[in-house]
Amino acid sequence: MEVAGDLEAKIESLLNVEKKMRLDNDVAGTKKAVTDILQLCYEAKAWKTLNDQIVLLSKRRGQLKQAVTAMVQQAMQYIDETPDVESKVELIKALNSVSAGKIYVEIERARLIKKLAKIKEEQGQIAEAADLMQEIAVETFGAMAKTEKIAFILEQVRLCLDRQDYVRAQILSRKISPRVFDADTSKEKKKPKEGDNVVEEAPADIPSLMELKRIYYELMIRFYSHSNDYLEICRCYKSIYEIPSVKEDPTQWIPNILVVSKYYSRITLKRLAQLLCLSVQEAEKHLSDMVVSKALVAKIDRPMGIVCFQAAKDSNDILNSWSLNLEKLLDLVEKSCHQIHKETMVHKVALKV
C-alpha cells in the first residue's frame, strides 16, 4: 500500500510539472515530464496505472504533438516486457486508442496493429488478425521506409491467403509493383529538402528488399496455385531464381525440380534444363544429387536424354493397377449398354405410336 501511495504521489507531482510545461508551450519539458511518468509506472510494474496514464496524458487540454509522440514511442518499448499476454494486449490497445486518427503517430499505430495481429494469429484467430491488418493503409504513409511498407502489405496478403480470401489477397498484392524490387539499392539516398517528409529507418526485423522479393513471389505462387494458373506460377519461380542469393546457392533450386516432378512423369533433360534456367550438365548434376539424397525418385536415360519421375512399381502394384483399370472399363461398358438399351426402347415406343 505504501509503495502504491508513493507512486501516486510521484505521479501527481509530475502531472503538475507537465501541466506547467504544457501551458508554457515548453516542448522539451513536457516530453520529459510525460516520459518520466511512464518510466515510474514501468519501474513499479504498475501496468494498469501505465495504461491509465497513457490515456489521461493524451487527453489533457492542448497536449503537444511532440509529447504524445514521445509517450507512444517510449511505451512501445515496454510491450515486450509485460508479464503476460493479457497485459501486453491491454497496453497495445491503450496505445492504439491514443494513436488512432493522429497522422504524426501513424507509423507507430501500424506497428502496434501488426503486433496485435500477430498475437491474434498465435491464438488461432486468423480472421480477426486479417481484419486488424486491413484497417491500415501503409501505402499512404510518406514517412515509412519502403521495405517496411512492403513487409506490412505482404503480411496483409499472407493473412488473407491463410483465411482463403483470395479476392482480397489479389487486391492487396496489386499495391506492390514488381518493379520496386528491381530498384538499385546501391545508390546513395538523396538528402531530404526542407519541408519534405523525413523517411524513418526500417526496424531491424524488417527483411531486405531481395528477401521481400522472394516472400512476395512465394505468396503469389500460393495465390496462382489456387486458380491453377501454371504460367504465372512458372514466372514467379523464374523471378525467385533471378534473386542473386538464390542464383548463387544451388540448394535453392531444389523446390523448382520438385515442382517439375509434380507435373511431369517424363521430360527430356533439355526441357528440364530450360525450365530450371540451367545447362543440361548442371540440371543432370542437381537432379542426380537429389536422387542420391533421396529427396526425389527419378531415373535418367542418358542415351535418350529422358528423365522419368515415376517410382518403380512392384508386381503387386502393377496387378492392382490393372485390376482397377479393368473394373473401370467394365463399369463403362455396362453403363454404355444400359444407355443403348434405353435409347432402343424409346425409339420402339415412338415407332408404335
Give me the pLDDT at residue 68, please: 92
Q: Report yes or no: 273 and 264 within 8 Å, Cβ to Cβ.
A: no
Angle between helices 27-43 and 47-59 (to 10 degrees): 160
Q: Do 152 and 140 touch, CB atoms closer than 8 A? A: no
Please provide the DSSP assignment of 149-201 as one string. HHHHHHHHHHHHHHTT-HHHHHHHHTTS-GGGGGS-TTSPPPPPPTTSPPPPP
Residue 308 has pLDDT above 90, yes or no: no
* pLDDT above 70 as % of the chain: 90
Q: How many CB atoms lie within 10 A of CB 68?
A: 23
Exposure class string for 211-222: b at 16+ Cβ within 10 A, else e: ebbbbbbebbbb
Over residues 269-293, mean pLDDT: 82
E strand segments, the chain = 266-268, 299-301, 306-308
149 pLDDT more than 80: yes
**Residues 6+ positions from 106 with CB-CB distance below 8 Å:** 99, 141
Residue, of 255 and 273, whose pLDDT is higher: 273
| CB proximity list for 262: less than 8 A, separation 6 or greater | none
Q: Is the pLDDT of residue 3 over 90?
A: no
User: Which residue carries 502393377 as its cell?
Assistant: 318
User: In the prediction, which pLDDT does 191 show?
Assistant: 58
Tens digits of residue pLDDT in 50-102 = 999 999 998 888 889 999 999 999 999 999 899 899 999 999 999 999 998 88
pLDDT of residue 353: 55
Residue 110's pLDDT is 92
- State the residue for C-alpha cell 525418385: 297
Contact status, residue 154 vs residue 212, Cβ threshold 8 Å: yes
Q: What is the dihedral of CA 275, 280, 285, 286, to 10 degrees?
A: -10
pLDDT tens digits, 226-271: 988 888 988 888 888 888 887 777 666 676 777 777 778 888 888 8
* Mean pLDDT score, 337-353: 78
Rounded distance, CA 243 to CA 255, Å?
Answer: 15
Rounded CA separation 267/25 (Å): 76
Q: What angle do CA 19, 40, 89 make, to 5 degrees?
A: 100
Per-residue pLDDT, 345: 83
**DSSP 8-state class, residue 307:** E
pLDDT at 164: 92
pTM above 0.75, yes or no: no
User: What integer pLDDT is reported at residue 1 of this predicted model?
Assistant: 46
Q: Could you tell me what percent of the chain has a pLDDT over 90?
A: 37
Taking CA atoms, 20 is separated from 24, 29, 60, 119, 189, in Å, by: 6, 9, 12, 39, 41
- Phi, psi (5° rounding) for residue 301? -95, 95
pLDDT score of 192 more than 60: no
- 311 band by pLDDT with thresholds 50, 70 and 90: low
State the average pLDDT for the chain.
85
Q: What backbone phi and psi angles, to 5 degrees, belong to 308?
A: -115, 120
What value does the mean pLDDT take over residues 168-195?
75
